[in-house]
């Protein structure tokens, strides 16, 4: 190839591997390396850009982190996408943070019962009619007392019997119990939020007028192979709860670790 024109400037401000990342990303975007094809092998890139293999690998690593390529030992570096999308991500250090407010709440256990899912419940739980579930009825109070913040109905598989006892102790986290009693890690949580007129049973628990404005939150906890481990149906009355999320732009930037001061 025309090695001369491909030389990476060593005097430029940006490190070489970052220049290389940008250059390769542009060539991928412009079709020189179509999606599905293989990038040239590392030795070839070293030669073309007159840099060491370490530099090439660092550059390709960034492409990899941006999802543009994937590497496979013995095969090569395959182009997976032609352009890095903007991606906004939100992260939680634990599912507990889904309900950050809950740090300052106490759980109260109200009761439990076995239920056979009728058609409406089955649809809500994404299961089949006639399935057996164990329903746990709970609510959360502020630690300083007062009216409940939320009415929570938690559905788990019947073999999770025994969770009730743990719940009665009062400061357990549903998702933790689900993992302990279900013997399986929660790999994904899905959440659906919407408005609702508070239904009668929740209204009684929460001490508000039936039909008054409320927030419903359904959470589905999934394990391996999208196995449904638990479903929680929550109702919050107006003014006692807000749900905050932060979405940050995930920089496909080269910066990696260096960035922020402490």
Q: Binding residues for DNA, per CB under 7 A?
A: 10, 15-18, 38-39, 41-44, 50-55, 57-58, 71-77, 256-258, 261
143-202 positions binding its own copies, by CB under 8 A: 185-198
List b or e across 203-227, with b for residues whose CB sees 16 or more CB atoms inside 10 angstroms. Answer: bebbebeeeeebbbbbbbbbbeeee
Residue 90 interacts with, from its own copies, DNA, none (CB under 5-8 Å by kind): its own copies
Q: Which is nearer to DNA, 45 or 136 (CB)?
A: 45
28-47 positions binding its own copies, by CB under 8 A: none
The nearest distance, CB 36 to DNA, in angstroms, is 14
Given a contact cutoff of 8 angstroms between Cβ atoms, the answer to whether 215 and 193 are in contact is: yes
- The window from 41-49, 100-108, 133-141, 208-216 that contacts its own copies (CB under 8 A) reads 208-216
The nearest distance, CB 216 to its own copies, in angstroms, is 9
Place of tokens 């690998």: 57
**DSSP 8-class letter at 253:** -
Calpha distance 112→136 (Å, rounded): 4
Given a contact cutoff of 8 angstroms between Cβ atoms, the answer to whether 89 and 248 are in contact is: yes
Site string for its own copies, 47-86 (x = CB under 8 A): --------------x--x-----xxxx----x------xx
At residue 25, the 3 state secondary structure works out as helix
Size of the site for its own copies (CB under 8 A): 57
Q: Does 113 bind its own copies (CB under 8 A)?
A: no
At residue 207, the 3 state secondary structure works out as coil
The DSSP element (H or E) to which 134 belongs, if any, is strand 132-142
Q: Which two tokens stand for residue 82?
A: 């032609």
Q: Does 92 bind its own copies (CB under 8 A)?
A: yes
Q: Does 244 bind its own copies (CB under 8 A)?
A: yes
Sign of CA dihedral 107, 111, 114, 117: negative
The nearest distance, CB 38 to its own copies, in angstroms, is 11
At residue 256, the 3 state secondary structure works out as coil
Binding site for its own copies (CB under 8 A): 61, 64, 70-73, 78, 85-95, 98, 185-198, 211-215, 236-239, 241-250, 257-258, 260-262
């Amino acid at each position: 190839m025309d090695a001369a024109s491909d030389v990476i400037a060593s005097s430029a401000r940006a490190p070489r591997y970052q220049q290389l990342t940008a250059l390769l990303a542009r060539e991928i975007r412009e079709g020189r390396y179509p999606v599905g094809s293989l990038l040239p092998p590392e030795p070839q890139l070293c030669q073309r850009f007159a840099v060491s293999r370490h530099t090439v690998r660092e550059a390709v690593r960034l492409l990899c982190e941006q999802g543009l390529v994937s590497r496979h030992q013995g095969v090569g570096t395959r182009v997976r996408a032609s352009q890095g999308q903007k991606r906004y991500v939100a992260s939680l250090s634990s599912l507990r943070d889904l309900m950050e407010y809950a740090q300052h709440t106490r759980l109260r256990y109200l009761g439990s019962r076995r239920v056979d899912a009728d058609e409406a419940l089955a649809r809500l739980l994404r299961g089949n009619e006639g399935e057996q579930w164990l329903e746990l009825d709970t609510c959360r109070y502020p630690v300083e007392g007062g009216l409940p913040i939320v009415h929570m109905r938690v559905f788990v598989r019947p073999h999770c019997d025994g969770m009730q006892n743990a719940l009665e102790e009062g400061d357990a986290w549903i998702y933790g119990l689900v993992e302990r009693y279900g013997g399986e890690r929660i790999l994904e949580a899905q959440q659906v939020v919407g408005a609702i007129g508070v239904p009668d049973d929740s209204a009684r628990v929460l001490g508000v007028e039936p039909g008054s404005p409320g927030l419903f939150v359904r959470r589905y906890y999934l394990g391996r192979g999208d196995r449904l481990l638990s479903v929680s149906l929550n109702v919050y009355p107006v003014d006692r709860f807000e749900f905050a999320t932060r979405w940050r732009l995930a920089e496909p930037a080269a910066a990696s670790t260096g960035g922020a001061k402490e």
